Amino acid sequence: MDAKTHASHLLFNSKKFSYQGSLRLAWNMLVEHQIEIPLIIILAIITGDILRIPLAAKFLRIQYRVPGEENLYLNGTDDLYFISFWVVAFTFIRAAVMEYVLKPIAKHGGIRSYRTLHKFLEQSWLFVYYAVSWSIGFYIIYNSPFWRNTSHFWIDYPHKAIPHLSKWYYLVQTGFWLQQFFVLHAENRRKDYPQMIVHHVVTSLMVTCSYVTYFTRIGTAVLCIMDSADVVLALAKSLRYLKFQKLCDHVFGCFVLVWAYTRHYLFFMIMWSIWQEAEVYLTIDCRPMQGKFICHELQYFFIALFAILQVLMLYWFAQIIRVITQVIRGSEAADCRSESESQVNMSLTLALGSDSSEAPGNERKRQ
């Protein structure tokens, strides 16, 4: 290698190192300032809307209202602006709620260690979010034609025009799931990090694809089913960190029942509907440009996504049952998802304390 080539090689490597260093610095700044940076972006968008800048309104308001209808909306590419806003908004809301609402509760409840505080803040935030999202989702489903009737997943398809609340719920949920990728990478790694990445990728694909192909009724049902177990689990974990042990045990018992009923029975019923009922009420008509997405390829795609989710949920449920069995037998039970609390005496709720377990060497500063 001559001197000129060697110099060019060094220059290229230095630029590459500088670029990677800049990205790492920007990432660290965002992780350490999860209140300030998103707040600046949100205020900039709101200011733009006040100044009547057309682009700003797309971030804040639902688009594509059906002409002549006050409460029906179509989908379109401008929905990406609204989803993006909520990715930023959830980053701010999550950090702000943790810092100014949940942290004082934790201190009042006697939580002192950083690790326990970290877990309590995360689980309490998830409880707040899932409680709200499940309530909205249940309200939508309860007042919809497909309440306790899966045939209406398919009747009158395609469901292009959906009510304002249904579209708002769907896009906000999409923003939440996308924002969770940031959380998974910004926070300390869990032992089941690979499974969580797969779960989030598959769920995000299911939500976005069902929205684009006008199968939002299925997506809404799945999101509500997911939230119903998550809200109980997050509550049980939060109670455990506050040392309400007996109450936590009762809530955990409810969680096991809710998980089994929603994540396996109801989830399977939706899979069955996709596999069997779809062909009863729909005829093959694959014309995407006309809004018709009735084809076997899409059917198999959704079944594959549901099957992956079901396998993951069965894996987690098996871990829960294993812990319960060990506790009933009176033996020491290992926290099956924790890196750092491998062997302890515990009640049923030890299984609940592992969701945000830190891997060694991965401690990071929380905003």
Asked, for residue 248, whether it belongs to a domain, the answer is yes
Model confidence at 338: pLDDT above 80: no
Asked, for residue 364, whether it belongs to a domain, the answer is no
Asked, for residue 348, whether it belongs to a domain, the answer is no
Q: Which residue has the tokens 């060694």?
A: 360
Per-residue pLDDT tens over the stretch 107-138:
999 999 999 999 999 999 999 999 999 999 99
Asked, for residue 262, whether it belongs to a domain, the answer is yes
- Rounded CA separation 125/349 (Å): 19
Asked, for residue 201, whether it belongs to a domain, the answer is yes
Asked, for residue 310, whether it belongs to a domain, the answer is yes
**Residue span of the structural domain in which 189 resides:** 62-328
Asked, for residue 319, whether it belongs to a domain, the answer is yes
User: Considering its fold, how many domains does the chain have in total?
Assistant: 1
pTM for the structure as a whole:
0.85
Among residues 246, 100, 75, 90, which one has the least CA distance to residue 159?
75
Per-residue pLDDT tens over the stretch 264-291:
999 999 999 999 999 999 988 888 877 7
Asked, for residue 151, whether it belongs to a domain, the answer is yes
User: Would you state the pLDDT for residue 329?
Assistant: 75
Q: Which residue has the higher pLDDT, 127 or 191?
A: 127
